[in-house]
Chains A and B, each alone.
Chain A
Amino acid sequence: MQPIINVSEISKTYASGFQALKSVNLSIDKGEILALLGPNGAGKTTLISIICGIVNPSSGSVTVDGMDIARDYRAVRSMIGLVPQELTTDAFETVWNTTSFSRGLFGKPSNPKHIEKVLRDLSLWDKKDRKVRELSGGMKRRLLIAKALSHEPRILFLDEPTAGVDVELRKDMWQSVRELRASGVTVILTTHYIEEAEEMADRIGVINHGEIVLVERKDELMRKLGKKQLVLQLNSALDAIPSGLAQFGLELGADRNQLIYTYDTRAERTGITSLLSAMGAAGVSFSDLDTTQSSLEDIFVDLVKASR
């Protein structure tokens, strides 16, 4: 697939001396949903802000659809919609006016039909004449999404879109994002909810201390996730794995007292039964058994720890 955003060697050091990003490279495919996962202060928002033109990078370059974000800022920015993390809204304007304002600001001719559709899709239509300050937190969040969608962007950035949104609404929002993707919009979302990344993303990028630690397809990660380990506590230590058990790809664990078998829970056969009977035939007995499964959360925590 063709990349729509290409981030190349982007670094950012703030005036305070804090280095938020360190030579970040990232390529985002057209039409995908990319989730950027990372703890607070990892650099997610800085990265998004640089691509959207809110923060100037210290070095490096970004192209969007082949155009440089600084040189061709008009063409680039009119393609991008941004939903910020903070609930920053014009408190005294009405929902309708503030959404129409966004469309005008991005240079699009007025189109009440489109604004109506966006507001209806985000269940804000019956609030269109309300002042923004009268809205609840969840409604304000949706209003920010409506503003970003008002100018029909081809790329949508969602910075922590479901922070402070209840479970019911979160599900609706995920659905809306999926529909956007189906209409060809590229979506980049940041989150620190692993569940959200798992639910939504095509690819997952993990960012920590200003560096991209990993970018991988979600199904690839899930495949690793789908692997499970069976740990057999042996009655007596083994010098080597008996030849009768060679086909199982076993590992010898702590003090040669453990046998570790890795298997795929989603495969048709796990091979556990045949392993156990083969062990019986080879005369290897065990006193206890245990199974472990690494979650995306474990992978994430390990990655974040390793990059510390």
Chain B
Amino acid sequence: MNYRAVWAIYRFEMSRAWRTLMQSIVSPVLSTSLYFVVFGTAIGSRIPQIEGVSYGAFIVPGLIMLSLLTQSVANASFGIYFPRFSGTIYELLSAPVSPLEVVLGYVGAAASKSILLGVVILATAAFFVDLHIAHPILMISFLVLTAVTFSLFGFIIGLWADGFERLQVIPLLVITPLTFLGGTFYSIKMLPEFWQTVSHFNPVVYLVSGFRWSFFEISDVDVTVSIAATVAFMLACLAVISWMFKTGYRLKN
């Protein structure tokens, strides 16, 4: 195992985050604060409690998930796409590193950044609403699991994309709608029965529901189903990545 290479990639990617601090930390925090002001305080004060939780607090787990998903995908896809675009990927390909080490470095850094972001948003949320976390360890586990899973997913997009537009397509057309329709701002129990059934095909529902359960012990689906669904998606991403490396997909001719 070439630990030094993993560390080198990790550090390199993290230093990119510090260089773009505004973009990677400050702007998500600002947009989350806006959500709290609009939905939590302005509109939320007129919405009754949901299963005993004030609306302002109810949306906190969903908002963290929203940022976690979009930022994990954005970070990881850009991290591997940019060297492919600029050509610096030659060095990675000619280095004594295994696919696993490459993934550990890139995905590890992308996931670290989104976990950090999740924690920052949580801290921001604490300014606006009273929060208590029922199961802190489970909450952290969900945070980490989701960050890793969606960073893996972003890594796949970064390998697949052959232009900057394509890099944007999946986050914009798939991740964002699924997140908004995944119970970020509402409980899917509030939907008509038909749309509740449809919602069960949305993987984000399981993430948000499980994450919310770790805060308030209320959920749309059983928490074990949530964990199982997330782990299954993570394994699927790993399988796709190992296939990509095995075939040299868009990395090697």
Interfacial residues, chain A to chain B (CB-CB below 8 A): 14-15, 52-56, 73-78, 80, 82, 84, 86, 88-93, 97, 100-109, 147
* Interface-side segment among B87-95, B130-138, B175-183: B87-95
Q: A53 and B86: CB pair below 8 A?
A: no
Task: Pick the interface stretch among B8-16, B62-70, B204-212.
Answer: B8-16
Decide if A104 touches B88 in the complex (CB within 8 Å): no
Within the complex, the shortest CB–CB distance from B51 to chain A, in Å, comes to 48
CA distance A106 to B90 in the complex (A): 13
B253:A86 contact, CB within 8 angstroms: no
Q: Which chain A positions have C-beta within 8 A of B2?
A: 74, 107
Given contacts A54-B252, A104-B7, A105-B9, contact A73 B96 (CB under 8 A): yes
**Is residue B129 within 8 Å, beta carbon to beta carbon, of the partner chain?**
no
Q: Known pairs A53-B93, A104-B11, A109-B4; list 11 more (Cβ under 8 Å).
A: A15-B253, A52-B93, A54-B252, A74-B2, A84-B87, A91-B86, A101-B8, A103-B8, A104-B8, A107-B96, A107-B97
Q: Is the CB of B90 within 8 A of A92?
A: no
B120 on the A face (CB < 8 A): no
CA gap between A279 and B93 in the complex, in Å: 67
- A88-B88, A106-B5, A107-B2 as given contacts; A77 in contact with B96, CB under 8 Å: yes
Q: Would B94 and A97 count as touching, CB distance under 8 A?
A: no
**B96/A78 in contact, CB under 8 A:** yes
Chain B residues with CB under 8 Å of chain A are: 2, 4-5, 7-9, 11-12, 15-16, 19, 86-88, 90-98, 248, 252-253
Docked Cα-Cα span, A108 to B87, in Å, equals 23
A53 touches B253 (CB 8 A): no
Give the complex CA separation of A91 and B88 in angstroms.
10
Picked from B87, B88, B90, B253, the residue with its CB within 8 Å of the CB of A56 is B253
For A159, give the chain B residue with the smallest CB separation: B90
Residue of B nearest to A88 (CB): B87
- Number of A-B pairs, beta carbon distance below 8 Å: 77
Inside 8 A of A88's CB, which chain B residues have their CB?
86-88, 90
A280 to chain B, nearest CB (A): 66
- A selection of 30 A-B contacts at a CB cut-off of 8 Å is A14-B253, A15-B253, A53-B93, A53-B94, A54-B93, A73-B96, A74-B96, A75-B96, A77-B96, A78-B96, A82-B91, A84-B87, A86-B87, A88-B87, A88-B88, A89-B88, A90-B86, A90-B88, A92-B16, A97-B12, A100-B8, A104-B4, A105-B5, A105-B8, A105-B9, A105-B97, A107-B97, A108-B4, A109-B4, A147-B91
B88: A residues at CB distance < 8 A: 88-90
Q: A54-B252, A105-B95, A105-B97 are in contact. Are A82 and B15 (CB under 8 A)?
A: no
Please report the C-alpha to C-alpha distance between residue A76 and residue B94 in the assembled complex, in whole angstroms.
10
A127 to B52, CA, bound (A): 62
Residue picked from A91, A102, A104, most chain B C-beta under 10 Å: A104
A80 and B94 contact, Cβ closer than 8 Å, known pairs A15-B253, A54-B252, A107-B2: yes
Shortest distance between the CB of B9 and any CB in chain A (Å):
7
Q: Is the CB of B5 within 8 A of A56?
A: no
Contact A104 B93 (CB under 8 A): no
**Chain B residues with CB below 8 A from A52, complex form:** 93-94
Give chain A nearest CB distance to B113 CB in angstroms.
Answer: 16
Determine how close the nearest CB of chain B comes to the CB of A9; give it in whole angstroms. Answer: 19
Q: Which residue of B lies closest to A131 (CB)?
A: B19
A105, B92: Cβ atoms closer than 8 Å:
yes
User: Which of the listed residues B8, B9, B15, B248 has the most CB atoms from chain A within 10 Å of its own CB?
Assistant: B8
Tell me whether A92 and B19 are in contact (CB under 8 A). yes
Instruction: Report Cα–Cα, A107/B92, bound state, in Å.
Output: 12
Query: Are A77 and B86 closer than 8 Å at their CB atoms?
Result: no
Q: Are B90 and A82 in contact (CB under 8 A)?
A: yes
Most buried by B among A52, A55, A103, A107: A107
Smallest CB-CB separation from A110: which chain B residue? B4
B8: A residues at CB distance < 8 A: 100-101, 103-105
B252 touches A56 (CB 8 A): yes
**Measured CA separation A306–B87 after assembly (Å):** 35
Contact A101 B12 (CB under 8 A): yes
Picked from B4, B91, B93, B252, the residue with its CB within 8 Å of the CB of A107 is: B4
A223 → B minimal CB distance (Å): 37
Q: Which residues of B contact A78 (CB under 8 A)?
A: 96
Give A1 Cβ to nearest chain B Cβ, in Å: 25
- CB-CB under 8 A from A109, the residues of chain B are 4
A236 to chain B, nearest CB (A): 64
Instruction: Give the residue name and chain of the B residue nearest to A87 (CB).
Output: B87
